[in-house]
Amino acid sequence: MYLFQRSEDLQNWLQTVRGHNRKIGFVPTMGALHAGHLSLIDQSAAANTFTVCSIFVNPTQFNDHTDLEKYPRTPARDIELLVNSGCDALFLPAVGEVYPEGLDTGVDVSLGQLAEVMEGAFRPGHFAGVMQVVHRLLQLVLPDRLYMGQKDFQQQAIIQEMIRQLELPVELVMADIVREADGLAMSSRNVRLSPEFRSKAPLIHEILSQIKQDSEERSVAEWKTWAHNQLEQAGFRPEYLEIVDGKTLQPVSSFKESKYIVACVAAWAGDVRLIDNVIVRG
């Protein structure tokens, strides 16, 4: 595996490997890699000639400074995991390599309602930062396929919309959520959970699974109240539990309202914010 810290070196290498009938897959990450990231790498390696992974803790997508500071950084372990995976090149840049013209280089895409709900409502500015960095990384790597996890459902919907509006020549592949044996969605933040919350955390997936399995048995409003109560009783602080149309991300009031419905949740487990979702239909 090659390791590049400078954009120019990455681009030079890409120039030598690009070619007719060769596909480049790209997996952007913020490091602290886990099995969820590795499954994105595996999928990319299986479908493309070369796989590029980036590790960059993007400062512009953190609305909370403490979250940025506390974000786990484990580069040595990440490199070891990647060397043993199907990754061909790792891009591990400093901030100045990604944003040579400064941090105020936004992307001109109007997200409208897509960015106003759920994560957008609770993390102001977050998606502008995510779009900015993914756009920049796509410019550098120019991949044929971009791999993102379903766990950040709203994020992939927004990147899909950016690709559509800017007519970027890349296919977004959404990969299934990878879970711990007890159902907790894999996340770099899980290592920060207290033992107490780690043992309670599978409840989040249990709630989502129950909504999916028995959706017809309650109304959307009833499920939302039920889920909030379950989370609160277990000591979580839910920020939202929304049942939304998978394309527009707007809340539905009935399960019959759309053929593509996703239940999404964000809840604080002590000082760790967890998100998860399940595709109810679609």
* Site residues for ligand PAF per CB under 6 A: 28-30, 58, 61, 130, 133-134, 152, 155
On whether 200 is known to bind a ligand per the annotation, the reply is: no
CB atoms within 10 A of CB 181: 6
Taking the complex as a whole, the smallest distance from the CB of residue 187 to ligand PAF amounts, in Å, to 10
CB of 156 to ligand PAF, least distance (A): 9
> Was 149 annotated as part of a binding site?
yes
Take residue 133 and report the two structure tokens written for it.
């960095």
Of 211 and 249, which CB lies nearer to ligand PAF in the complex structure? 249
What are the distances in angstroms from CA 107 to CA 56, 104, 111, 112, 173? 18, 10, 11, 14, 21
Ligand-binding annotation for 33, yes or no, is yes
Pick 118 or 130: Cβ nearer ligand PAF: 130
Please indicate if the annotation marks 179 as binding a ligand.
no
Angle at 50 between CA 49 and CA 53, to 5 degrees: 150
3-state secondary structure of 7: helix
Q: 42 or 152, CB closer to ligand PAF?
A: 152
Question: What is the layout of strands, in order, in the sheet containing 145-149?
Answer: 2-4, 89-91, 50-55, 24-29, 145-149, 171-175
Contact, 85 vs 45, CB < 8 A? Answer: yes
Shortest Å distance, C-beta 75 to ligand PAF = 15
Report in angstroms how near the CB of residue 146 gets to ligand PAF at its nearest: 9
CB of 68 to ligand PAF, least distance (A): 12
Beta bridge partners of 43: none
Q: Please, which residue, 58 or 210, has the CB nearer to ligand PAF?
A: 58
CA–CA dist 208, 278 (Å, integer): 6
Q: Is 61 annotated as a binding residue?
A: yes
76 annotated as a binding-site residue: no
Which residues are identified as catalytic?
37
- The C-alpha atoms of residue 96 and residue 276 are separated, in whole angstroms, by 32
Contact predicate 140/10, CB 8 Å: yes
Q: The dihedral of CA 226, 232, 236, 239: what is its sign? A: positive
The DSSP output letter for 246 is: T
Measuring CA to CA, which residue among 110, 141, 147, 276 is closest to residue 208? Answer: 276
Closest to ligand PAF by CB, 111 vs 211, is 111
Please state the residue numbers annotated as binding site for ATP. Answer: 30-37, 149-152, 178, 186-189
Please state the residue numbers annotated as binding site for beta-alanine. Answer: 61
Please state the residue numbers annotated as binding site. Answer: 30-37, 61, 149-152, 155, 178, 186-189
